[in-house]
Chain A
Amino acid sequence: MVGKLKDRVLKDALKCSFCGFCEVSCPTNFVIKRNYTPRGRIGTVIFALKNGITTIESVAGIFSCLGCGACVEYCPAEIDIPEVVRNFRYILRTEDTEISDEVR
């Protein structure tokens, strides 16, 4: 079940060209660190699902997404970024990835 979801989430995330058009619309962009931006979150998903890398800081970026969808309008690849993030959060929880209390 989660395996199939992972494939779907990764497939969506891989559409990202890392152009950054989404960033300025994101309410958490003020943090500046790239993991707190939509393209950073998509990058985080790719590094996790393709390369098996997650870090505490990257996971914090994933859980900082407000799900407001402001980024979606500006994504040239038409990725539903909040949907990818929501599904990835589910994967992290299901797989019992280390998530600190601060970001839960």
Chain B
Amino acid sequence: MSTKKETIIKNKITIMVVDELRKIVGKDNVSTDDLLIALHSKDAAGMVGKGIAVVYPENTEQVAKIVKLCYEKDIKIYPQGSSTELSGSSMPNGGVIMNFGRMNKIEEINIVDGYVTVQPGVRFIELEEELSKYKYMFPIDPGSYRAATIGGAINTGAGGMRGAKYGSIVDWILGLEVVLPTGDIINIGSKTTKCRQGYNLTKLIVGSEGTLGIVTKAFLKIVPAPENIVYAAAFFEKIEDAMSAVADIKRSGILPAIMEFLDEDVVEVGRKIINSDAEGNLLIIGVECNNEASERVLNNLAEILKKRSKNIIFAKNSKEMEEKGIMELRRAFYPLSMKFGFQQLKTPTFVLIEDIAVPVSTLHKVVKAIKEVAKKYDFAILIGGHAGDGNIHPIICIPTEDPEKFEKAKEFYFEIMKIALKFEGTVSAEHGIGLLKKEGLEMEMRFRKSEKALDIMRGIKKVFDPKNILNPGKIV
């Protein structure tokens, strides 16, 4: 509890800092409007924070000056992309909110060297549109790609729909420009695919949720877009059969880019999209190949899937896939969950998405275990996710205005995290730790008898940020 005198001093410092911020970025790029701050302190995971100002820097130099100012005055900084991370990692708690909406330029596309240079505020959809002009792509493809920014995804360690082949974003960052909490600017990694630069600080920053430094520029690895993708959407009566089909495909030597899963309830709600009366648990497979090989690959895929599924929709290329609505149904997982929640609860609904990863070979057991726990809690649950890399997203819907149910949901998700650990998985696959998974991370390290790793993480935080001004309270 602050004394009256302390509060007055605090307010004076705040006014002074806001004045200084205006000098750095111009008065239009700083706001202390209560409601605008509130809008930047809310996220898609239902969390609500607070801040003293929102600042919109336009370049790295401005970021460095702001950080230096805040470091000197002991003001917390909360870097922010589009707040779609679902773990509370960009949630502010009383300091300056630094939004990267104005740093949204694609600076360079270099096809020969295979990289693109982007500012943190570039959205995935914008990058995809630009790269498609060169028949290239950045393979990371989060479900929220319309809204998510590259900077946010780097800090979250995001993945996406093509994880089965391409992994997550950490595998696709060549180098970063980072502003340290002191205001110093460092360039780590390089524009080359091979780079041995001592300890790999680039990989350390990826997934650090803005707690170690502020990413102001990124060099991303890009690859040619595939000539063709063939698709199969197979329906299975039992979840176990769908998961066994994943294993069959893996054993066959086919390497799909897409191996996505939706359970029967999601299919039921979204059947209109694929214009089919098909029922059951859905597995969507997408394999990249050249035009000449397409028919052969599709036949191989059909042979494997037919062993366990009686109903399969095939698409010879992306155009056919779009006409049949296959990926549209997968991308609609989130909207369909909202629709499902509204149908079930008849009131504005909040969708809570869990994010665990387990070894692919255990998926069928894990899905079964999650369904059993959901019954105990009496939650209507939908399950979907990235079967190819063992990343599943159980979703429950709760009324928007029900804090009691929200607490119950957190308890439920804790049980799901325990299931992930029991099957040698991990509590967070691609949504990050933020605020919601802090206890989960501690539980995981205890489970692994590796609490020392948490001490090391706390030590790293201190080395980077001794005054604890960068996104404090997150991860550890």
Q: Give the B-binding residues of A (Cβ under 8 A).
A: 11, 14-15, 17-21, 23-24, 32-35, 40, 43-44, 47, 53-58, 74, 76-78
Contact = CB atoms under 8 A, between A and B. Distances in A.
B56 A43 contact: no
Contacts of B33: 35, 55-58
B82 A33 contact: no
A33 B38 contact: no
B138 to A, nearest CB: 16
Given A11-B348, A15-B348, A34-B40, A24 B125 contact: yes
Instruction: Determine the interface band of chain B, counting residues with CB < 8 A from chain A.
Output: 35 or more
A37 B146 CA distance: 14
A32 B351 CA distance: 26
A19 B335 CA distance: 10
Contacts of B34: 53, 55
A74 B145 CA distance: 12
B291 interface: no
A17 B338 contact: yes
Interface of B: 31, 33-36, 38-40, 42-44, 54, 56, 82-84, 99, 101-102, 123, 125-126, 144, 146-147, 334-335, 338-339, 342, 348-351, 400-401
A18 B348 contact: no
Contacts of B54: 33
Nearest to B38: A47
B38 A18 contact: no
B44 A32 contact: no
A32 B101 contact: yes
B348 A20 contact: no
Contacts of A21: 144, 146-147
Contacts of A32: 56, 99, 101-102
A40 B39 contact: yes
B31 A18 contact: no
Contact of B31 (A19, A20, A43, A57): A57
A33 B56 contact: yes
> Looking at A18, A53, A56, A58, which has the most chain B CB atoms within 10 Å of its CB?
A18
Contacts of B42: 18, 43
Closest A-B pairs by Cβ, 6 of them: A76-B335, A20-B147, A32-B101, A58-B35, A14-B348, A57-B33
Given A15-B342, A19-B334, A24 B39 contact: no
Given A19-B84, A24-B123, 19 more contacts: A15-B348, A15-B349, A15-B400, A18-B43, A19-B44, A19-B144, A21-B146, A24-B126, A24-B147, A34-B99, A43-B39, A47-B35, A47-B38, A53-B38, A57-B33, A57-B35, A58-B36, A74-B146, A77-B338
Contacts of B334: 19, 76
Contact of A57 (B36, B83, B342): B36
Contacts of A11: 348
Nearest to A39: B39
Contact of A44 (B39, B43, B84, B146): B39
Contact of A18 (B83, B99, B146, B335): B83
A43 B348 contact: no
